Amino acid sequence: MAVPKLDTLQSIELAEGVQILLRPAGPLPRAWALLADMLLVAVFVVVEFLIIMLVSQIVGIMAGVGVWLLLVFMTYWGYFVLFEVLRKGQTPGKKMMGLRVVCTSGERVGWGASFLRNLVRFGDMMPLLPQWQLWVLAVGFYFFGVASCLITQRFQRLGDLVADTVVVYVREEFLDVTAALRASVTPSAPPMVLTREEQQAFIQFSERASTWSDSRKMEMIEPLAPLLGAGGHEGVVRALAMGMWLRES
Amino acid sequence: MNSNSHSTRWNTTAPSRTRQVCGDLALAQHRMYGRRLCERLNVLVIGTYQHLSAAARLGSGASVRFFASTFPCSVRREQRVVWLCIALFFAPLLAFIAAAYFEPKWIYALLPPEAQAQMDAMYGQETMDDFVRDKFGSSFAMFGFYIINNVSIHFRIFASGVLLGAGAVYGLGYQGIFIGAMFGYVHTSGNLHRLYTFCASHSSFELLGFILGAAAGVRIGLALVHPGRLPRVAAMREAGKRALPVLLGSTMMLIAAAAIEGFWSGSSVPALMKHTAGILGWVIFTVYFIFAGRRTADET
């Protein structure tokens, strides 16, 4: 029987026979990354305009306009693709937020996948902001993108679904919160043999306990009360002690 | 120099290092050496994997093969969607051109007065048959404009096709209706020779490019409506793979169309040559999409 997953980690088995875990990023950090990228695109367009103004003194204003239009086109549609392929899946905004685009197989994104996911971005953007439906710099509400992110298990927008990609966190999650626990809880062995997954659950509970409120911790421990021999606050302390023991053994 | 020797050293040791770090991760996961160590090794393995699975280089052989077989074969494989899009575009286009002779008020109802005035200025009875855009700079400006305008429209029609195909159907029908109305308007009261001389050469590239881009979008959108035997998400992924060559090829066609429209269609080349080029374009594309790449193994 398939056990419903506790987290959003995506486990992928490589040809080398090991499992890697990808941590998909949710809509909010991606929105911040997008905002930074959009600002940067705007900066690029303005800088290109200024350079072309200087150059067109030499080559003539009409040729200058042509070059500028080409540059704006390439910036708007090519910015994401070029950065994602050449900078290992990271646009500057994603780099800032510690995100990266990878294929769902864990591989690097190629030209085809990146091109697809960034063109479909326009579909994700819909509905568009009325005053921004200009021929180039369209900006939208990202209604379909966010809806798709919330429906799918890996927070994939439509472009990710079509291109078979996923946006993941680059760095590991550093949660060194056990130092404070170590002073207040004395480790104790669990009363029975636990499977690997159960052990992991206890360890992760102890590591992340300080990020939850007391009532939330009690709520999480509630189903385990018979096993721990106590519920409520005492149950939480016992669960933490078992987690600490498992972690250090 | 320095970085070069560094990367060479990395590449020669990469396989053994990858095996090492994969072995470490497997061991750490199996023995549950704590979350922190496992995550650290996980990140290292992902890094080496990403490094080893670098994007394949795009060689010149790949692009020749793409246009010789991959692109026409992908178009043929999607021919039902392509025919649908051809009908969606050409039915309103031809209907509005025909309306010029039967019910011109349809055209006047659709085109706002400003658009009519603009068409009069460009293709009215009084306009001359010659083209006065011989300065290189002006041609280049128009080329840039056609790229940013047409290719952006093309990308958007494709992308909105992902929304159950509805966006592409709307975009394509809209283009068909308005291009039809503009042509029909010139048919009622304009300089037809000037219009068709200008449009002939790039017409095949531009119209077929739009239609194929829309077909690629509809292909993906339909995967969501009618996924067949696959789950919907998997159907979308497969449709993306099938639509990508069509999208790439049609984008190239539109870029070529913008170049022709910018540098050739508006130039002072004799009208006969422009008409010949236009007819040749349609004939060549028809033959190309029906026959190209049939003998290669790409066809499935």
Do residues A189 and A165 both lie within one domain? no
Q: Dihedral, CA atoms, A222, A225, A228, A234, nearest 10 degrees?
A: 70
- Residue A167's Cβ-side half-sphere holds a number of Cα atoms within 13 Å equal to 29
Q: What is the pLDDT, as a whole number, of residue A1?
A: 39
In a domain, A5, yes or no: no
Backbone phi, psi, residue B53, to 5°: -95, 40
Q: What is the pLDDT, as a whole number, of residue A209?
A: 82
Q: What is the DSSP string of A43-64?
A: HHHHHHHHHHHHHHHHH-HHHH
| Residues whose CB falls within 8 Å of the CB of residue B1, separated by 6 or more in sequence, listed in order | none
Do residues A155 and A192 both lie within one domain? no
| Residues whose CB falls within 8 Å of the CB of residue B285, separated by 6 or more in sequence, listed in order | B204, B205, B208
Q: Would the pLDDT of B300 be above 60? A: no
What ipTM is given for this predicted complex? 0.84
Do residues A148 and A52 both lie within one domain? yes
Q: What is the pLDDT, as a whole number, of residue A90?
A: 92
Question: Which residue in the block uniquely carries the two structure tokens 């991760």?
Answer: B25
Q: How confident is the model at residue A3 (pLDDT cuts 50, 70, 90)?
A: low
Question: Which residue in the block uniquely carries the two structure tokens 């149950």?
Answer: A235
The verdict on A176 touching B (C-beta cutoff 8 Å) is yes
Residue A34 distance to chain B (closest CA, Å): 18
Do residues A99 and A186 both lie within one domain? no
Do residues A162 and A190 both lie within one domain? no
Residue B115 distance to chain A (closest CA, Å): 18
Give the separation between CA A145 and CA A122, rounded to whole angstroms.
9
At B14-33, the pLDDT tens digits run: 788 888 888 898 888 888 77
Say if residues B151 and B262 touch (Cβ distance below 8 Å): no
| Nearest residue of chain B to residue A200 (CA atoms) | B32
- Please compute the mean of the pLDDT values over residues B155-164 and round it to a whole number: 88
In a domain, A3, yes or no: no
Q: What is the DSSP string of B175-235?
A: HHHHHHHHHHHHHHHS-HHHHHHHHHHHHHHHHHHHHHHHHHHHHHHHHHH--TTS-HHHH
At A82-115, the pLDDT tens digits run: 999 988 889 999 999 999 999 988 888 888 899 9
Percent share of chain B, pLDDT over 70: 88
Sequence-distant contacts of B281-285: CB under 8 A, at least 24 apart: B281/B201, B281/B202, B281/B203, B281/B204, B281/B205, B282/B203, B282/B204, B284/B204, B285/B204, B285/B205, B285/B208
CA distances from B54 to A108, A130, B42, B291 (A): 6, 40, 19, 35
In a domain, A4, yes or no: no
Do residues A95 and A25 both lie within one domain? yes
At B172-226, the pLDDT tens digits run: 998 899 889 888 888 887 778 888 888 888 899 999 999 999 999 999 999 988 8
Provide the number of CB pairs (under 8 Å) joining chain A to chain B.
163
Do residues A153 and A35 both lie within one domain? yes
User: 3-state DSSP call for residue A167?
Assistant: strand
Domain endpoint, select from A142, A169, A196? A169
Give the separation between CA B266 and CA B245, rounded to whole angstroms.
31
Question: Structural domain of residue A40, as residue ranges?
Answer: 10-169
Do residues A144 and A242 both lie within one domain? no
The verdict on A35 touching B (C-beta cutoff 8 Å) is no
Domain endpoint, select from A169, A192, A216? A169
| Nearest residue of chain B to residue A197 (CA atoms) | B32
Residue A146 distance to chain B (closest CA, Å): 14
Pick A73's closest partner by Cβ from B151, B239, B248: B151
At A44-88, the pLDDT tens digits run: 999 999 999 888 888 778 888 888 889 999 998 899 999 999 888
Mean pLDDT of chain B: 83
In a domain, A1, yes or no: no
Backbone phi, psi, residue A164, to 5°: 60, 45
Do residues A184 and A164 both lie within one domain? no
Number of domains in chain A: 2
In a domain, A2, yes or no: no
> Percent helix, strand and coil across chain B, each rounded to 5?
80, 0, 20
Does residue B15 have a cis bond before it (omega within 30 degrees)?
no
Do residues A162 and A49 both lie within one domain? yes
Do residues A92 and A206 both lie within one domain? no
Range from A41-45, B70-74, B117-121 carrying the lowest mean pLDDT: B117-121
Do residues A165 and A186 both lie within one domain? no
Domain endpoint, select from A143, A169, A195? A169
Q: What is the DSSP string of A62-82?
A: HHHHHHHHHHHHHHHHHHHHH
In a domain, A31, yes or no: yes
